[in-house]
Structure formats: structure tokens, C-alpha cells
Amino acid sequence: MDGLADLGGTPGWGPVHPPPPDEPVFAEPWQRRAFALAILSGRVASGGVNTDAFRHALERLDRAAYFDDGYYGRWLNGGELMLADSSILAPGAVDARARNLRGEHVPEPPVPEPARPDYAPTAPGSLRSLDTAPAFAAGDRVRARTTSVPGHTRLPRYARGRTGVVQAVRPASVLPDTNAHFRGENPQYVYSVRFDSRELWGADAEPFAITVEMYESYLEAAV
């Protein structure tokens, strides 16, 4: 899906500034707790570590939950959404509990029927072994497919339909497009593909090269 998280190449966001060298990991105490809660809620909701499902939760947040609450607020909101998806919490339960803490005495919505996914990774991490050979090799000209999927994907909008050159073949990895929805790991080879900036953003773009890591199903041979 083309959600708020797919910002690469979109105009209007201003320049990217490097972080201050003395920037703390957590600027405020609540951010530590939000980080821990997001990690814990993701494990509970997924039945294990599923980074792709967590990313899919983040990209489904509304604009306020994604931008206005800041980085760690976004993580907290994503964790809450995963718990609601798995029927561990009812949608709106956190808001009701917060209002009750303020003395408003509102009923907490009932938890729906269990929907926790039957998920277990086949091995630690995301790298997997395949018996088949890669479809592409270093030096091959490839084109990113233009398909826009309704669910999660790591194929950025700015690269779709654009032509580049494979720089390196990486080990096979779990495919986020299926893993985020608990539809299997579907491991694929990953390719480092080099694009010219003018191929991506037009002749007026500042000339430079950008490398994108792309799964095999994202690519087709360019003639």
C-alpha cells in the first residue's frame, strides 16, 4: 500500500539535516517506555518477532498518529494497532483507559473474537537459504515493476517503472509483502540496484546515483 511512510522522493518536506552529534537516544523518559512497549506489544500480537507486520501497522496510522506524536509516539501507536488487530485489546481500549484515569468513567469497549495470527518464524532473523539460482546477476539492466499492492510492500513508489543496473546479489530474505500479513515467509533473493537520479525524478534532478535494495519479485529484465 502507498501509505504515509512511503515518503522517498516526495516534495515539500524540506532538506534532510544530520542529527546533532550529542543527540540522546531518548530525549525524554516516556520515550524509553514507549520503545519497550512497542517491542513487547509486537511480540505478543505476532506470536514472535515480525518486523514487517510492525512496519505495516505504522503505515496504516492516520496522519496525526504518524506525524504529530513524534517518532516514539508513532511506535507506541503502531504497537497499539497490532494489539487491536490480534484482539488482545479492543479498538479504542487505550483511549478509554486514559479517560478513566482522568476520572471520566467511560466504559471500555469489549474485546472482539480472538484473531491472533498463527505465526512462527522458520528460523532466527530474516535471511534464508534457497536451492534455486538468482534470476539476475551483477551488471544486468532491470526495471522495477509498476504493480501497486493493496497490502504491505517495500517497493518504493519513486522506483516503480524505472530502470537501473544490478550492482550486487544479496542473500535471500523473507519477503515483507507476505510476511507482514502472516501469509508465509516466501524468501527471495535481494538485489542492490543502482538508479540514476534523473531516471527517477526527471532531467532537472540533481545528478547522483542511488542504490535501492529490491526483492526479486519487484524486478523484471529491461530490454
Q: Interior CA angle at 178 toward 132 and 191, to 5°? A: 45
Residue 98 pLDDT > 80: yes
What per-residue confidence (pLDDT) applies to 118?
A: 81
Per-residue pLDDT band for 9 (boundaries 50, 70, 90) equals confident
In percent, the amount of the chain with pLDDT more than 70 equals 100
CB contact set of 116 (below 8 Å; sequence gap of 6+): 45, 47, 86, 87, 88
Please choose, from the candidates 59, 76, 67, the residue with its C-alpha nearest in 3D space to the C-alpha of residue 12: 67
Model pLDDT for residues 43-90, shown as the tens digit of each residue:
888 888 899 999 999 999 999 999 999 999 999 999 999 999 999 999
What CATH architecture is 141-221? Roll (2.30)
pLDDT tens for residues 32-47? Answer: 999 999 999 988 888 8
Provide the pLDDT for residue 150: 84
Mean pLDDT of all residues in the chain? Answer: 92
Q: What 3-state DSSP class applies to 148? A: coil
Please report, to the nearest 10 degrees, the dihedral formed by the alpha carbons of residues 218, 184, 118, 49 taken in order.
-60
Q: What is the pLDDT of residue 175?
A: 98
Residue 172 is predicted with a pLDDT of 98
- Spatial neighbors of 37 by CB under 8 A, at least 6 apart, are 76, 79
User: Where residue 1 falls among pLDDT bands split at 50, 70, 90?
Assistant: low
Give the residue-averaged pLDDT of 4-12.
81
Predicted local confidence at residue 113, as pLDDT: 86
Q: Find the mean pLDDT for residues 122-147.
A: 96
Interatomic CA distance for residues 80 and 221, integer angstroms: 41
> Domain 1-117 is in which class?
mainly alpha
Q: Which three cell numbers stand for residue 116?
A: 491472533
What are the extents of the domains in the chain?
Answer: 1-117, 141-221
| Residue 62 and residue 77 in contact, taking contact as beta carbons nearer than 8 Å | no
Q: Using the predicted structure, report yes or no on whether residue 3 has a pLDDT greater than 80.
A: no
pLDDT tens track for 158-202:
999 999 999 999 999 999 999 999 999 999 999 999 999 999 999
The pTM (predicted TM-score) of the whole model is 0.88
